[in-house]
Structure 1
Amino acid sequence: MSTVSDALKKTLAPTGRLRASINLGNPVLVHRNPTTGEPEGVSVSLAQAFAQHLDLPLDMVVFDTAGKSVDAVTREEADFGFFAIDPIRGQGIHFTAPYVLIEGAYLVREGSTFTCNDDVDQEGVLVTVGKGSAYDLFLTRELHRAHIVRAPSSPTVVDVFMEQALDVAAGVRQQLEADLQRFEGLRILPGRFMVIEQAMGLPRGRGEDAARCLFDFLESAKASGLVARELARFGIQGASVAPAAKA
């Protein structure tokens, strides 16, 4: 039985059902099961565990981009979700501490003169990112000379990069590594241009008690080994469990 009060449950899930916003655009955290078509992955496992913690039924509201997932929680069309921490998103979402750290990387053609991440921010360079993704938000702030071209979603970044003959594709390292198997003549620049802190979050209007409940749940999930087990179960490489956080 849940130790969370009925009043707090009502704050966390006003409809009586816990609605999780799930973003299919980040393959590190969630994907569709090839047999059933249902979403599965670290995010889904955590959503299920949080619903069990609250002793509430779970509904998954599934989106193909991070931007749509963010909007759903900001507008309170979902009760919580899984996001890269970003100050712009933080205007409408109260984040927990991160639970997973993920590398952002650049992909270029084999013949490109770029040899390191610092080479990218030059006049005339066209960098494609998934619209509304953490990389879009970060690079919009950090790139001062290169120009950003926004693909419809993170999984389509390399398709747009190829179709429009752009200079650089930016995204989750695991997604870019998978794209190397789809297209010839590409390479990933060494290192990373950012580390993405993936957290859970809920609408800011839900208040401090709700935010504390979600924070405590996630810290417990990290400490118990749940996050690490789910990363291993789904064969995720290149992502690590974030360190424990203090409130």
Structure 2
Amino acid sequence: MNVLIVEDDPMVEFIHRNYLERINRFENVYSANYVESAIELLKDKSVDLILLDIHLKENNGLDMLRIIRHELIKVEVILITAANETSCVQSSFQLGALDYLIKPFTFDRFEKSINRFFEKSEKLLEETLNQKMIDYLTGESSCQEGLTKQSKVLEKGLSKETLHLITSVIVKLEQPFRVHEVVQLTGLSHVSVRKYLYYLESIKHLEVKSIYTKIGRPYKCYYYLLPGD
């Protein structure tokens, strides 16, 4: 497996490389500072995964992602960026991004994203896929389908666009997840996220559990439930 880092900040590229060396699962690690050079590299090298920044000096990472999809280049993409605007997150997932990490990020979160890439790659090596595997690979679409069937009319104060954004994020999170993870990836307020999570819980798409610790108050964790669970 080969990975390409598209990042114009040398320090961030160094962090990516350091984390990848710690994980030690890729044969080759390539790098590019610009979209144009990254596209040229994709023509010459076999690349399985791209770690892509959005705000590059001479171009936009989302433009590169659009080019990749338009030219049907078979490669997975993880966005790693300081861009936390809702529009960027939504566009990334609509363009088929595997994951979205907001800088600064921890090694644990980075490793989870890389592990998700390898899990998906291994599943796609199978000659056939059962429904559970397909649900894993197309979690966003199955989530949206279930929501459409159960609730054609949203409660007052909720929008379909925001609900789609939140659900597209939570199906890609490692389960269970907490409110602040959704806030970080969507750019929405805690109040807004809680409102939508409460709605998803009310239509049986989320299960919530209170976690008690020896010190401090209990906190809530959420589990996404596939339609029909």
Higher helix fraction (1 or 2): 2
TM-score (norm 1): 0.27
TM-score (norm 2): 0.28
Higher strand fraction (1 or 2): 1
Which protein, 1 or 2, shows the higher relative CO under an 8 Å CA cutoff with sep ≥ 6?
1
